[in-house]
Amino acid sequence: MAHRNASFVTEFILVGLTDLPDLQLPLFCLFLVMYVVTVLGNLGLIILIGLNSHLHTPMYFFLFNLSFIDLCYSSVFTPKMLTHFTSKKNIISYRGCMTQLYFFCLLLLVISECYVLTSMSYDRYMAICNPLLYHVAMSPKVCSRLMLGSYLMAFSGAMAHTGCMLRVTFCDANTINHYFCEILPLLQLSCLTTYVNELEVFIVEGINVIVPSVTIFVSYGFILSSILHISSTEGRSKAFNTCSSHIISVSLFFGSAAFMYLQPSSAGSMDEEKISSIFYTNTVPLMNPLIYRLRNKDVKFALRKILSRRQF
């Protein structure tokens, strides 16, 4: 409680994506359309998987959770971003900022989605490399434990980040050069040393980046080796199609994250970070349902089945 009282700032001003008046209305329309498509796409995929019994498999169980996460964290940032485009002064309270930061850490980068994508890569590894053991290795109990582990890692990471941020003292500076409460822009406003916070971010994000990344690369190393040993062209093509959607999702997610966190720090890097963060806060949740819906025969078949049933 003493640390909370030490913070003299009661509200923050969010700079937003841009301060140019001519861009406010076009950006509002663009992100509104993206948000509507994101909500409809992910909600539709969740309903589609829930209603079709032949989609009640490990891969679609993970896809169900991936869509749920995308739906949740797009709703954490986008409504607030849309209000920024229509208001002259973008203000968020201290509590609102810490709450937004908590859900950012809980639902987003290197935590929930990373581990769900990692579980999906392990599922593809077992399906292609050990098909005879697949139903044993990916039983409902195993899948539930993998998802429980993903959410526990997300919860512990969010608690660590938010708990350390509550110790930061903000004196006079309260203008965040971002469109939501992110860790790095907030640390730049501290009037005391942030060494402990930077060390905590390095450790937590290091663990949550290295473990999923290594697991995914190793899994796909074995998958690629198994595919190359398949003699028939048809079998090889079928194996590639099995994991192509997941490869696109992983590339899009980790690519945008790497572009943001691995670029060298500079005076203009915060503006570049705002642009790159759009990819994983808005573009990734938008693209995931489109990727799996357009490139997956089972999903398209289930959609046609429901549509034909409604017509009948």
Q: How big, in percent rounded to 5, are the helix, strand and coil portions of the chain?
A: 75, 5, 20
Per-position pLDDT tens, the chain of length 312:
444 444 477 888 888 887 777 888 898 999 999 999 999 989 988 988 888 888 888 888 988 998 888 888 788 778 878 888 887 778 888 888 888 887 777 655 556 777 888 888 888 888 888 888 888 889 999 999 999 988 888 888 878 888 888 888 888 788 888 888 888 888 888 888 888 888 888 887 777 777 888 888 888 888 888 888 877 777 777 777 777 777 777 777 776 666 655 555 444 556 667 777 777 778 888 888 888 766 667 777 777 777 676 555
Handedness of CA 116, 39, 283, 89 (dihedral sign): negative
Q: Radius of gyration of the chain from Cα atoms?
A: 21
In the chain, the domains with their CATH numbers are: 2-311 (1.20.1070.10)
Structure tokens, 298: 């089972």
Give CA separation, 277 vs 42, 52, 71, in Å: 20, 34, 17
DSSP notation for 242-264: HHHHHHHHHHHHHHHHHHHHSSP
CA distance 73 to 181: 13
Write down the residue that tokens 């199609």 correspond to: 241
Quickly tell me which residue has 């028939």 as its tokens. 232
Q: Which residues contact 29 (CB under 8 A, 6 or more apart)?
A: none
